[in-house]
Structure 1
Amino acid sequence: MRNIKICVLTVCMSFIVFFCPAQQRTGNQRADSLRAGLESQLDEVVVTGTLKEVRKSESPVPVTIVSSKFFRRTSTPNVLDALYLVNGLNPQVNCNMCNTSDIGINGMQGPYSMVLIDGMPIVSSLSTVYGLSGIPNTIIERVEIVKGPASSLYGSEAIGGVINIITRKSDQSPRFFLDYNGSTWGELTGNTGFSTKFSNKVSTLFNVDGYYYNTPKDQDKDGFMDKTLQKRISLFNKWDFKQKYNKDASISLRYYNEDRYGGELGWNKAHRGFVDFNELDDDATSEGYNADFVLPNGYTIYNSKYAKGFRVPRFEKDAEKEAWKANVRSANPGAAFADDMKYQESIYTSRFEGVGRYRLPIEENITFDASYNQHNQNSTYGTEIFVADQKTLFGQGYWDREFGNHSLLAGASYRYIWFKDNTIASANGSFPLVTKMPGVFIQDLWKTGKKTSLLLGYRFDYDVTESANGSHKNVVHSPRAAFKYIPNTNNTFRASVGTGYRVVNIFSEDHRALSGQYKAVFGESLKPEKSLSGTLDYEGRVATENIGLTYSLGAYYTHFFNKIYPVRNETARTLTYFNVDGDEYAENIGASLDIALNFRFPLRITAGASYNKAQLIEYERDEQGNKTGKNTERNDFEFSPRWMGVYSAGYDLTEKFTVDLTGEWKGPMLLPTQGNIKTYDGSGNETGSVTDPRPERSPWFTKMNLQLAYRLNNGLQFYAGVRNIFDYVPKNLLVNVKDPFNDLSNPDVYGGLQFDTEYNYTPQQGRTGLVGIRYNF
């Protein structure tokens, strides 16, 4: 039935293309336009591949450009949603309840992707999953994507690739602009901005972006919301300055605030911050039970800063409930109770960012960049409380100059990361994790001939990290080489080999595990995770009177080693972190194809397909992570599909009326299931087992979107569309939904499936209609 729908839609699009009365250009005009379009793509300036402005055709490093025009064709409110439609990128939903997401590149998981704003590494760790959705499309000029390791220029985290979000220049922005839309799900998105010039040298851009969604929906009738309720606002201000010798300077500031929560229907927000009451006696010499008040992170504290009271378990009989309350009151006469607490995940986020660039107003090309961000987060995951603060400071200076056929670039950088949370990992906030990382880098872009060029780069970083549970010092070397060959203007070949690395940063990403009753320990002086990658790319172009075509083929291999993993000790309640043994590693093999077609009639088509096999080669281990043999086995990365792709088609029905079809498709990916779990009776005798009913791999699926836009001469545009036309939503994502706190099943004693929120592979939002208005003046 779904295939029939696809065929019908394809036929309808074909009818529109060939029979609707669109304004036609003459053959020569259209051919000239096609050739000009291809030439303009080659002349586009990119900076992410080499850290300096070069034409895309001259860059030895392939760079994918996503323009602001593309964002307007997708009806997406933020950059995260739009990047679903870029081939090779895999934005992944991490949690069914709080709907957080990050972005993987070429099969690698989100933490191994570096996200930059105007070239500055200020989106990382906490902000990767809680800040990307707040970057509005209206302030973006373009997004540049480099797939593959890029640590020789950008340092830590650039293992899978780099996504550089480049904001608009204020002197090139509309004097006033707005974009407002509403959806059939009850979502309201509003964006307003303006720019002004104070003189020929000073201009500014200001933008306010807001999102509101407060309509709980439960289409699959499991008692839990399909989409997280959210209220967020983002304020952005950028100043641009022109100086002597055509040197520029800029500073931009952004403030982001969000309140999101999801979970069981009917949640009472007053219950936020109520925790489980645990009887725990850490003193072996004491007699009996002393009723320590223990938060889920294992720390024996109880005050209003972290918890407001105790959740009442879901007893089957009222008499059991009252007996439990009496027991708690005997230890704390003033205890507050949440009698009917629903499972929820609630996140308050407050974030500030500052980015600055200053090019010295002299003949030499000397640039100084700096950024600072502060991320504050207050989260509750059911009865777990996670409070975290992160500050990141980055600065770099570099010099570039032409010497004949050589374009040299050299510089130095310093990154400072300060992170603390309320878990044992940072001694309840008294001993934060601190990373200090100075580095130097050098690069030579060498035009070895009329048709060839060679890029050589090297970076040296010194990583010093201190934490409550261990410290380490590491020297990191990151070389890179890239070669480009252009036999003619219509064909380009590129090859590269490079390294990527990522310093130890376990706390911010493993907060769900670390906010449990486990102490994090470094089992050794941890080394940075590293990768070595090789890529081959070919790009071709064809322009005739009837068609303009660009296409590219790419292949890559990545060897990933020093992966960090935890060994869990249930008795000591510790998570001890090690690097994998030398015979354990990960590898990532893949290829991609992208095409873009422009026709003599006003039709545009793009399509892309990627194949990726990402696997971890490791020893056979038990549930605690201990080796059980000498043989190694291959296991696929979770949330990494072998096949995935994107597609889009745009047609101008008239000069003012445009229809755009966009979509993505994905093949099966490995998902985290609980497998087969043994069950026991009250005496500890094994009674059988239960198997997780959810399939280990997701099905093939596609999500398609349609937008109609009508433009008036005065800069006003109306648009309407449908997201997820075929109403595809994942099924059976949750287990044990009637007992999310595991009160009734008590798996620690009796075994059985536990409620979890990590099993997901695409957003649960079904078919959604929307209407909106845009205006540029």
Structure 2
Amino acid sequence: MRETFTFIIIFLFQIGFSQELDSLSISEITTDSIKFFNKKNTSKSIETVVISKPNRPKKKSNSIIPIEIYTASFLKKTKNNNIFDAVGMINGIKPQLNCSVCNTGDIHINGMEGPYTLMLIDGMPMLSALSTVYGLSGIPSSLVERIEIIKGPADASFGAEAMGGSINIITKNPKYAPKLSLDFSSSSQAELNLDIASSFKINPKTTSLVSLNHFYFGNRIDVNHDNFTDTALQHRLSIFNKWNIERQKNRRASLGLRYYYEDRFGGEMSWQKKNRGGAEVYGESIYTNRFEAFGLYDLPTLEQITALFSYNYHDQNSYYGNTSFMANQQVLFGQLEWQKSLGKHILKSGIAYKLSKYDDNTPATFKNSDTGNLLDRSLYGFFVQDEWQISTSKALLFASRIDYDTEHKMIHSPRLAWKFSPNPQHVLRASFGKGFRVVHVFTEDHAALTGSRDVIISETLKPEESYNSFVNYITQVKLGTAHLNIDLSGFYSYFTNKIIGDFDTDPNKIIFKNLDAFAVSKGISLNLDMLWTSPFKINFGISYMDVYQKETNEKIQQLHAPKWSGVYNLSYYFPKNWILDFTGQFYGPMRLPILEDDFRPEYSDFFTLANVQVRKQFKHFEIYAGIKNLLNFIPKNPIMRPFDPFDKHTNDPANNPKNYTFDTLYGYASMQGLRSFLGIKWELKSKKF
């Protein structure tokens, strides 16, 4: 490992440096217009600029679709090494732990599981079904300029599969990024993380950014003494390269490349590589190799036409005990967009194509000995959209999208959005739409891959369909010397079909089938930002959700969907550039997958994950230190019968009268307790090229 870190440092120091520059600082933004403090503690007013796809920049206040924006300064308030952990500090978004052994997970928006969230990098869909589980932790937070979040149905160019919403990760612009930056941190549990990035100019019009992230955690910890690792061991390497080319008439061209490797293991403390795939010592071991490419190009035409593309290749070699899962997926996406302003109308239309090639070693993809396990699927899309600025206070968005799937044929997804803003202090937005999603059970539901249960697909699975609505109200109130920003949202999604794993019918099985009745996801969320003329700031968010399905007049709450959840963030800016951050998340009771006659409660207790961090900023570097999980919260009994992971002794009436079996799905939060961390970040800042 030491040799790897040395290689990375030498590699980046060999990149040529041309000149010394000042970096462009971007303030933390969460509402349309906020007050922020500069070094002299004077206040300035700014407006958010957002790119909600790789279209032309647009003020957030002019956007008809409600968009939340979180910049790099927000992500710095608590030390997180990757996007999966970082977005947990956003109200209404929950990084969900799906396995108590290998600690993989996905991101929930407003209670809807990870596959309902469209993940994008620089506006291009990059995270395929396989990487919904494993790829999120491979995006270092140090690479991020800002995160744009849309909850609920978006405009038609996003596609119909963003049923829960979208998370658009905007990476740093090489033109403004530091010429060289280094961020190294370690924790009391021996987690090591290194981020190194360099931006440089090839010629007056071409700039590039190279970034390397290396994360290593090899410390086997077993605090609850169940003979299983509390936290999965991980070795991750991510290499990112981005190119921007400035062209005549403000036309753009960009290309991004990323390679990601991960070796992840969780299991019995005595497990070694030689036990991989065996039935003597239980371990869950996953090797992941992933490559991504994405870009955009403005065509040299009189009309504003942009070509977008993305490609990702994902190879997974994994064992869950003695159950193997070998999968390979390739996704190619291309879209051609045309946009034109006509008076009060902004017209947009486009065509899209998505090719998915998927292959694994499960019975779900087996055809016959001649064709093998290959599963190919093409999706053709066409959309039209009209943004109509009726007046200075009113705007409407009409959109229609038609997608043709090679298996499910024609699917229509309309969109409607409305905005009313009588003055800059009040903005009301509403959006409605229909969505669909083609289900890939094995690539999306990690529970289907665990060695503790068999997977049963009882019928041919149809695509999921839903009707989605979202309402958002933003206002700003002055309270003496303080400014209060209020962001209130309500959402409602009705599913006519939803594929949900049945964990209740048989404790040894997960049964997948089409929904017999309907499912609902509804709720309300509130965000409050309080700023004073003093160097003190408070962010607080709370959400209430009711996510359930109804079959044969029985209401069944969705697993891992707490009705109450929220976030809190208190920051104090001391003299001489000292900053204190107190952050955290809290979750109310959530339903958990239990076995028949399980001694563990069906609903979790209320818990909070609190963190404290101190930062000191110098001219070219910053030091930071803190404590995570300040209250040392650790879930109880996340694994059933960890002493018999291969169920060799379940038929034992004397010692196992209730016939419990090994099960890893009960865990709902990380087993990492209280731990400290320390880090240093150094930057050689840059002027604008």
Output the TM-score relative to the length of structure 1: 0.79
CA distance in 1 between counterparts of 2:512 and 2:436 reads 18
2:545 touches 2:563 (CA, 8 Å); kept in 1?
yes
CA distance in 1 between counterparts of 2:200 and 2:379 reads 39
Question: 1:120 maps to which residue?
Answer: 124
1:498 touches 1:532 (CA, 8 Å); kept in 2?
yes
- Residue of structure 2 aligned with 1:352, choices 291, 312, 323: 291
Unmatched runs of 5 consecutive residues or more in structure 1: 1-26, 275-310, 312-340, 465-471, 620-631, 676-690
SS of residue matched to 2:203: coil
Shift of 1:394: 0.3
Q: Which has the higher helix share?
A: 1
SS of residue matched to 1:486: strand
CA distance in 1 between counterparts of 2:36 and 2:441 reads 59
Shift of 1:443: 1.0
SS of residue matched to 1:776: strand
Shift of 1:514: 7.0
- Residue of structure 2 aligned with 1:423, choices 358, 362, 368: 362
- Residue of structure 2 aligned with 1:650, choices 571, 574, 578: 571
Instruction: After superposing the two structures, state which structure 1 stretch, 528-537 or 385-394, moved more.
Output: 528-537
1:151 touches 1:499 (CA, 8 Å); kept in 2?
no
CA distance in 2 between counterparts of 1:433 and 1:597 reads 52
2:98 touches 2:446 (CA, 8 Å); kept in 1?
no
Counterpart check, 1:184 vs 2:117: no
CA distance in 1 between counterparts of 2:179 and 2:300 reads 28
1:711 touches 1:718 (CA, 8 Å); kept in 2?
yes
Instruction: After superposing the two structures, state which structure 1 stretch, 428-437 or 715-724, moved more.
Output: 428-437
CA distance in 1 between counterparts of 2:211 and 2:465 reads 39
Shift of 1:154: 2.1
- Residue of structure 1 aligned with 2:484, choices 549, 552, 560: 549
What letter is aligned with 1:741? Answer: F
Quickly say closer, same or farther: Cα 1:249–1:29, change in 2 above 3 A.
closer
Question: 1:530 maps to which residue?
Answer: 465
Quickly say closer, same or farther: Cα 1:638–1:200, change in 2 above 3 A.
same
SS of residue matched to 1:615: strand
Quickly say closer, same or farther: Cα 1:28–1:537, change in 2 above 3 A.
closer
What letter is aligned with 1:738? Answer: F
CA distance in 2 between counterparts of 1:194 and 1:76 reads 21
Shift of 1:205: 0.3
Instruction: After superposing the two structures, state which structure 1 stretch, 229-238 or 508-517, moved more.
Output: 508-517
Question: 1:741 maps to which residue?
Answer: 646
Q: Which of the two has higher C-alpha Rg? A: 1
1:649 touches 1:662 (CA, 8 Å); kept in 2?
yes
Question: 2:110 maps to which residue?
Answer: 106
Within 5 Å, which residues of 2 pair with 1:37-52? Answer: 37=45, 40=46, 42-48=47-53
SS of residue matched to 2:115: helix
Question: 2:609 maps to which residue?
Answer: 703
Once the two structures are superposed, residues 148-179 of structure 1 have per-residue CA deviations (whole angstroms, 9 ceiling, x without a partner) of: 13373322531111011111111111100011
Once the two structures are superposed, residues 224-279 of structure 1 have per-residue CA deviations (whole angstroms, 9 ceiling, x without a partner) of: 111000111000001110001111111010000010101111112201122xxxxx
2:160 touches 2:413 (CA, 8 Å); kept in 1?
no
Once the two structures are superposed, residues 573-632 of structure 1 have per-residue CA deviations (whole angstroms, 9 ceiling, x without a partner) of: 999965323xx010112001101111111111100000000110112xxxxxxxxxxxx2
1:441 touches 1:457 (CA, 8 Å); kept in 2?
yes
Quickly say closer, same or farther: Cα 1:692–1:172, change in 2 above 3 A.
same
CA distance in 2 between counterparts of 1:198 and 1:725 reads 47
Question: 2:384 maps to which residue?
Answer: 442
Instruction: After superposing the two structures, state which structure 1 stretch, 146-155 or 223-232, moved more.
Output: 146-155
What letter is aligned with 1:455? Answer: L
CA distance in 1 between counterparts of 2:447 and 2:628 reads 32
CA distance in 1 between counterparts of 2:191 and 2:321 reads 25
Counterpart check, 1:595 vs 2:528: yes
1:35 touches 1:543 (CA, 8 Å); kept in 2?
no
2:476 touches 2:485 (CA, 8 Å); kept in 1?
yes
CA distance in 2 between counterparts of 1:553 and 1:637 reads 24
Once the two structures are superposed, residues 381-423 of structure 1 have per-residue CA deviations (whole angstroms, 9 ceiling, x without a partner) of: 0110111000000000101110000001100100011111112
Question: 1:194 maps to which residue?
Answer: 198
Counterpart check, 1:614 vs 2:547: yes
What letter is aligned with 1:36? Answer: K
Once the two structures are superposed, residues 336-359 of structure 1 have per-residue CA deviations (whole angstroms, 9 ceiling, x without a partner) of: xxxxx3211000000000011111
CA distance in 1 between counterparts of 2:561 and 2:342 reads 44
Quickly say closer, same or farther: Cα 1:444–1:753, change in 2 above 3 A.
same
Question: 2:11 maps to which residue?
Answer: none
- Residue of structure 1 aligned with 2:413, choices 469, 478, 500: 478
Question: 2:422 maps to which residue?
Answer: 487
SS of residue matched to 2:231: coil
Once the two structures are superposed, residues 73-106 of structure 1 have per-residue CA deviations (whole angstroms, 9 ceiling, x without a partner) of: 2111111111110000011000011100100101
CA distance in 1 between counterparts of 2:450 and 2:203 reads 53
Once the two structures are superposed, residues 106-163 of structure 1 have per-residue CA deviations (whole angstroms, 9 ceiling, x without a partner) of: 1111111111111111113110110100100111111101001337332253111101
Instruction: After superposing the two structures, state which structure 1 stretch, 650-659 or 202-211, moved more.
Output: 650-659
Once the two structures are superposed, residues 425-444 of structure 1 have per-residue CA deviations (whole angstroms, 9 ceiling, x without a partner) of: 22289132211001011111
Once the two structures are superposed, residues 720-774 of structure 1 have per-residue CA deviations (whole angstroms, 9 ceiling, x without a partner) of: 1111111111111122121111101148999711111111211111111011000
CA distance in 1 between counterparts of 2:324 and 2:188 reads 34
2:71 touches 2:147 (CA, 8 Å); kept in 1?
yes
CA distance in 2 between counterparts of 1:272 and 1:192 reads 33
Shift of 1:450: 1.4
Instruction: After superposing the two structures, state which structure 1 stretch, 366-375 or 146-155, moved more.
Output: 146-155
Question: 1:502 maps to which residue?
Answer: 437
CA distance in 2 between counterparts of 1:696 and 1:155 reads 37
Question: 2:323 maps to which residue?
Answer: 384
Quickly say closer, same or farther: Cα 1:349–1:767, change in 2 above 3 A.
same
Quickly say closer, same or farther: Cα 1:650–1:514, change in 2 above 3 A.
closer
Question: 2:246 maps to which residue?
Answer: 242
Quickly say closer, same or farther: Cα 1:231–1:574, change in 2 above 3 A.
closer
Once the two structures are superposed, residues 461-512 of structure 1 have per-residue CA deviations (whole angstroms, 9 ceiling, x without a partner) of: 0011xxxxxxx33211111111111111111111121122101322323576
Question: 2:687 maps to which residue?
Answer: none
Question: How many residues matched?
Answer: 642
Question: 1:230 maps to which residue?
Answer: 234
Question: 2:632 maps to which residue?
Answer: 727
Within 5 Å, which residues of 2 pair with 1:276-315? Answer: 311=279
CA distance in 2 between counterparts of 1:747 and 1:346 reads 30
SS of residue matched to 1:419: strand
Quickly say closer, same or farther: Cα 1:347–1:575, change in 2 above 3 A.
closer
2:564 touches 2:587 (CA, 8 Å); kept in 1?
yes
SS of residue matched to 1:211: strand
1:34 touches 1:598 (CA, 8 Å); kept in 2?
no
Quickly say closer, same or farther: Cα 1:69–1:175, change in 2 above 3 A.
same
- Residue of structure 1 aligned with 2:85, choices 70, 81, 84: 81
Identical positions, percent: 39
